[in-house]
Structure 1
């Protein structure tokens, strides 16, 4: 894999925000900061349209700092938010969809997503912070969490209010659709796994691939179960990896985080191997601790820090990721769930 976003990579190593970059005559990258967590920023891609106007791929986290970064980035390339005609959203997460509503208010731009993610954002549970919290707590309890621990990890409804107000989609993009941005041939590639409706965009004139969070150059995107998600998200993700790699090598991969690169097939192979290693580690944990819940099994896996330091959203991601791997092991016939309200897992007898 070759790093092509050298300025992004250098900024990452310096723990700094990378610069606004002109990637082609008609294409720029604008970093929009994320206020917490390890990802630091999301890259919004700005596309010039013939005859005037701009298109966006992803918008950034909805905060005043993020809005300023996006506005200043557009100004640096000679435009403004009011020039935006359309917003393509790779997936429903707040660092990608968050600012779409403010962009639409300032410009009248349409917002497009895959129907699976658009449906989640528009669902009554998602639009109601209290209902959203209750659903997530109940889901974690179904994975073996103590109700009080689950409630503490999820947090109060007021913390979820910003997510409930995210922009609803004006347009839906199915797999294979071409986005309505004149001068570009951006074909939607449905890549479920990270979210049910994750989209990559393959630009057919230039050979560029805007990969969202589906393929990142350094980290593996979180693949987790959700109360309103896919039944077997890891199986969907691995199939999506193979499908993207099978499209052939793009001229460059433009991800939503970290840095641009070449060598898609090599990176998809690495990501698939990572998950196979994780599946093997989890199967060993199930054999060593039969009758355990996903919540319990997560504590027996290798993480980036000691398990007792995991709490809140980090612990939720770890447990739901463990559950996603268990479901794939089950679909391969390697583990068996108890079938109770809170399933416990044992290795299948072979």
Structure 2
């Protein structure tokens, strides 16, 4: 892999915000701050069409400071909130969807989210908590560790009112074209890949469904400029968590591995991720990400070969975790246990 933005690469190492940066003639990267020590920055992208309309990819973490950065970026482009045409969200997580409500209130933009992630947003959180509690019951979690998994709640919480989820204006499906005309900026003129549905001279942006991180996560391919917006599906330095959305009948690990294969046709594109820095070398990074999860599946299979009746907790405690098993707590522990259950399912 090779970083393609010195400013973003250096900021990633320092945990600081890089400046607003041009990626292509009509594409800019806008780093936004997050109040998380381990993940202090999320990347939003602005795309300007031939008529001067601005299209946002991932609105980013919601804060007054971040909204001011958006306004400053628009001013830098000689634009304004009134020129924002669309806001496309790669997946439902707070650090990506956060400022969508501000865009809706202060711009004429249409909000766009995958149909699958919109369905996940619409799930009553109380039902999700009940399902999570049943899940934990089946994992063999020691009594002294159950409380930190945050899945127990009383009658008061069960009857509390639920805030209505954000509703997108456009539901996106695999292969949809966002209809953004970039005009006379076809990148290096290599056009699109055969069979991608856009045509060899397209300057549009195509939706590529890449489940795993969430069930409705999408990447966005811009063939005319040979860039791929990956959200959290592919990041340069982080192994994204899996299954971080509504529960589905499919296995998120399997979904993720298959989705990594799906984007192989874009291996020669520059990757514009949701965190970190822009880079080339997608094939290498895909291989690293796949091996990370395949190794866990092999480890789970080895544990089950020795102890077929082992609980999810028991298996998880014997797998290799980047942060170390003893350091996993709260949401990170819960994610590790969920992933272990999926690896065990694949091993059986």
- Number of the residue aligned with 2:286: 268
Q: What's the offset of the Cα at 1:289?
A: 4.0
1:252 and 2:234 correspond: no
Q: 1:137 to 1:37 in 2, by over 3 A?
A: farther
Using the size of structure 1 for normalisation, the TM-score is 0.83
Is the contact made by 1:202 and 1:208 (CA closer than 8 Å) also made in structure 2?
yes
* Structural mapping, 1:22-101, within 5 Å: 22-101=22-101
- Give the Cα–Cα distance (whole angstroms) in 1 for the partners of residues 45 and 272 of structure 2: 9
Is the contact made by 1:136 and 1:227 (CA closer than 8 Å) also made in structure 2?
no
Q: How many residues were matched structurally? A: 322
1:177 and 2:176 correspond: yes
Is the contact made by 2:120 and 2:246 (CA closer than 8 Å) also made in structure 1?
no
* Structural mapping, 1:217-228, within 5 Å: 217-224=236-243, 228=247
1:144 and 2:140 correspond: yes
Q: What's the offset of the Cα at 1:28?
A: 0.7
Is the contact made by 1:225 and 1:231 (CA closer than 8 Å) also made in structure 2?
no
- Give the Cα–Cα distance (whole angstroms) in 1 for the partners of residues 109 and 174 of structure 2: 22
**Unmatched tracts of structure 2, length 5 or more:** 183-202
Is the contact made by 1:17 and 1:41 (CA closer than 8 Å) also made in structure 2?
yes
- Number of the residue aligned with 2:129: 133
- Give the Cα–Cα distance (whole angstroms) in 2 for the partners of residues 226 and 101 of structure 1: 20
- Which residue of the other structure, out of 323, 327, 331, is the alignment partner of 1:309? 327
- Give the Cα–Cα distance (whole angstroms) in 1 for the partners of residues 241 and 163 of structure 2: 21
Q: What's the offset of the Cα at 1:166?
A: 4.6
- Give the Cα–Cα distance (whole angstroms) in 1 for the partners of residues 331 and 233 of structure 2: 20
Q: What's the offset of the Cα at 1:90?
A: 0.7
Q: 1:284 to 1:85 in 2, by over 3 A?
A: same
1:208 and 2:227 correspond: yes
Report the secondary structure of 2:50's partner residue.
coil
Q: What's the offset of the Cα at 1:148?
A: 7.4
- Number of the residue aligned with 1:280: 298
Q: What's the offset of the Cα at 1:186?
A: 0.3
- Number of the residue aligned with 2:149: 153
- Give the Cα–Cα distance (whole angstroms) in 2 for the partners of residues 95 and 205 of structure 1: 28
- Give the Cα–Cα distance (whole angstroms) in 2 for the partners of residues 155 and 65 of structure 1: 33
Q: 1:141 to 1:71 in 2, by over 3 A?
A: farther
- Give the Cα–Cα distance (whole angstroms) in 1 for the partners of residues 85 and 75 of structure 2: 16
**Unmatched tracts of structure 1, length 5 or more:** 330-334, 336-350
CA shift digits 1:102-155 (9 cap, x unpaired): 1111113111111111111123x14xxx44433333332233335774443227
Q: What's the offset of the Cα at 1:198?
A: 0.9
- Number of the residue aligned with 1:104: 104
1:192 and 2:191 correspond: no
Q: What's the offset of the Cα at 1:37?
A: 4.9
CA shift digits 1:181-214 (9 cap, x unpaired): 3335000011111111111111121121111111
- Number of the residue aligned with 1:332: none
- Give the Cα–Cα distance (whole angstroms) in 1 for the partners of residues 206 and 15 of structure 2: 33
Q: What's the offset of the Cα at 1:227?
A: 5.5
- Please tell me the root mean square deviation across aligned C-alpha atoms, in Å: 2.5
Q: What's the offset of the Cα at 1:248?
A: 4.0
Is the contact made by 1:137 and 1:151 (CA closer than 8 Å) also made in structure 2?
no
- Number of the residue aligned with 1:297: 315
1:168 and 2:186 correspond: no
Q: What's the offset of the Cα at 1:304?
A: 3.0
Q: 1:67 to 1:150 in 2, by over 3 A?
A: farther
- Give the Cα–Cα distance (whole angstroms) in 2 for the partners of residues 65 and 298 of structure 1: 40
Is the contact made by 1:207 and 1:252 (CA closer than 8 Å) also made in structure 2?
yes
Report the secondary structure of 1:229's partner residue.
coil
- Give the Cα–Cα distance (whole angstroms) in 1 for the partners of residues 236 and 79 of structure 2: 30
- Give the Cα–Cα distance (whole angstroms) in 1 for the partners of residues 243 and 312 of structure 2: 12
